[in-house]
Amino acid sequence: MKRPFDFVIALLGLIALSPLLLIASILIWAQDRRSPFYIADRVGRSERPFRMVKFRSMIINADRSGVDSTSSDDVRITAIGRLIRRTKIDELPQLWNVLRGDMSLVGPRPNVEREVRLYSPEEKRLLSIRPGI
């Protein structure tokens, strides 16, 4: 019953929020004429890899800087990025992942493969359910 609920809510959310998604996309694109999306490889249910979609809030290739964590005053965060992070708008494209079945509305945060390799047996149990937004 959870999957049909996730699907319907994600679909309605994408439809209802489409004006906001369009405005955010245009603003992010306008700052440097690059893709407004950040697509990250993550590990999902049953250790299946998937590509998680978010609005890009940092400069291009920021993830290649070698820094894993981000503070609120990180110089890699763009001006628009600061706003969309503060308002959580950067997470809205993940509704697409929910619609596709990669993610659920509620669940553990999806992690990168290098972190999943370090999971304890108890933490590995998190991979038995879909990750959530």
Token pair for residue 50? 């998937």
In the chain, what are the domain boundaries?
A: 2-128
pLDDT at 19: 98
Per residue in 17-64, pLDDT (tens digit) is 999 999 999 999 999 999 999 999 999 999 999 999 999 999 988 877
Per residue in 77-129, pLDDT (tens digit) is 999 999 999 999 999 999 999 999 999 999 999 999 999 999 999 999 999 99
* Phi and psi, residue 51, nearest 5°: -105, 110
